[in-house]
Amino acid sequence: HTASPNAGATRGGFSSGLGVLAATLGSAVGLGNIWKFPTLTGANGGAGFLLVYLLSTLLIGLPLMVAEIAIGRQARANPISALRQLRPHGAPWWLIGMAGMAAAFLILSFYSEVVAWVFAYVAKALTGGLLSSDPAQTQASFDALVTDPVQSLVWQWVVLAFIGGILLLGVTRGIEAATKKLMPLLFLLLLLLCGYSLTLPGRAQALAFLFAPEWHKITPAVVLTAMGLAFFKLSIGMGTMMTYGSYFTASQNIPATATRVMLADLSVSLLAGMAIFPAVFSFGFTPSAGPALVFITIPAVFAQIPGGQVLLAVFFILTAIAATGAMLSLMEVPVVILHERWGLTRPRATLLTLLVLVLLGAGCALSQSTLAQFRPGGRTLFDWADHLSSNLLLPAGGIAIALFVGWAWGERAFAAQLSNHGELGNRALARLLCLLLRWVTPALILLVMLAGLGVFSG
């Protein structure tokens, strides 16, 4: 455990294949599945959005995820050093790492606030509050929380202290082990919820909403949002997967791991959607209820189930755990850069990152109370952090990473990282992915970004 840059063999890493899978899945699965996916699907018209999201995940997300992990494993360094090392001359590719650090701070500043609501819900559920079969009541409980500046701030500090504590204690292994055991539990609970929800009268309406596309609802802005979600979900476009790739074992099959993570992640999102939307239609909520959707529907559903009070607490505890794995991976980006490149010790790098987050996060925490009227360009600071990261920084990072692999790094080095397909298989897969990354991925992302930001509509 040395602070020297490019510490080589002394760098930490994941210990086993299962550890690699758990950590990578732990980064992907998080609030994105349980909070963002249902919220965005609801706000953007349902099935059409889901379809575009699926396409973006397959065509853009998966190749980029493989690319990022491969870069990381080849270089075995933080994103900035990695890109410098693989391509020391020519274009300043390492800027991707700087942009990634900015994206990590931006995402963490609103993400930590949503986790703050989750923590608050755990506490409230454990002390017997929240549950109500009256939708107006569950809505009111949520509004009371987010419009209270003190609760919003304090719960965010609790979350940041919790995450910081884990990183400071260096018990990443503890978390890894815990996640491995608890993720299946989250899966089970979602299955249970889903099973229950699908007996509700709103079932048919919910399934139609989720699976029968209304084509006219797919606008360029919807496509951009869906693509942004694909980036956010798979933790790509900002160096997170590069960082985790640098901890991968040499024998890990990168394409297979990425595919498994993508599929598992997708299942969690779909389960969450099928747990939430039948309730939405049955209890008279609107799918477009926004960030409050999960927080108002889930307590209303559990109010109908025997033992709902306990299950509600369990549900939010598992959500908190899922979010913890994602937050750890987000924080790892600035921490490892500050540590390896700027020579800070890991504890100092962690504390500095936390300090920045307390300051930046406050803007998001207070965006529905003290700062509710502060809406430059029509968005709260919370919404800006969310919008800029998913719809601008991550896709832009995705373009740059695709171009890096396709044009600068080269097919041969890339092929060497795609293990376990046999010599010929590696080459064929690398050729295909390189072709995609060279032309299709960057062009597609650019097109979607420009259209989504309204460049073509004048």
| Interface ranges with ligand PFF (CB under 6 A) | 27-28, 30-33, 107, 232-233, 235, 238, 240, 326, 329-330
Q: Nearest CA to 286 among 40, 42, 33?
A: 42
DSSP state of 405: I
DSSP state of 10: G
Q: Nearest CA to 236 among 434, 413, 402?
A: 402
Alpha-carbon gap, residue 352 to 245, rounded angstroms: 24
Question: Measured from the CB atom, is 238 or 271 closer to ligand PFF?
Answer: 238
Question: Measured from the CB atom, is 323 or 403 closer to ligand PFF?
Answer: 323
Q: Measured from the CB of residue 69, what is the shortest distance to ligand PFF in angstroms?
A: 13
Contact between 285 and 135 under an 8 Å Cβ cutoff? The reply is yes
Alpha-carbon gap, residue 183 to 298, rounded angstroms: 19
Question: Measured from the CB atom, is 131 or 186 closer to ligand PFF?
Answer: 186
Question: Measured from the CB atom, is 130 or 238 closer to ligand PFF?
Answer: 238
Contact between 96 and 239 under an 8 Å Cβ cutoff? The reply is yes
Q: Measured from the CB of residue 111, what is the shortest distance to ligand PFF in angstroms?
A: 7
Alpha carbon separation from 156 to 210, 244, 265, 350 (Å, rounded) = 32, 26, 26, 17
Q: Measured from the CB of residue 252, what is the shortest distance to ligand PFF in angstroms?
A: 19
CB-based contacts of 93, cutoff 8 Å, min separation 6: 83, 84, 86, 87, 400, 404, 408
Q: Measured from the CB of residue 256, what is the shortest distance to ligand PFF in angstroms?
A: 20
Q: Measured from the CB of residue 81, what is the shortest distance to ligand PFF in angstroms?
A: 18
Question: Measured from the CB atom, is 274 or 415 closer to ligand PFF?
Answer: 274
Question: Measured from the CB atom, is 30 or 220 closer to ligand PFF?
Answer: 30
Q: Measured from the CB of residue 32, what is the shortest distance to ligand PFF in angstroms?
A: 2
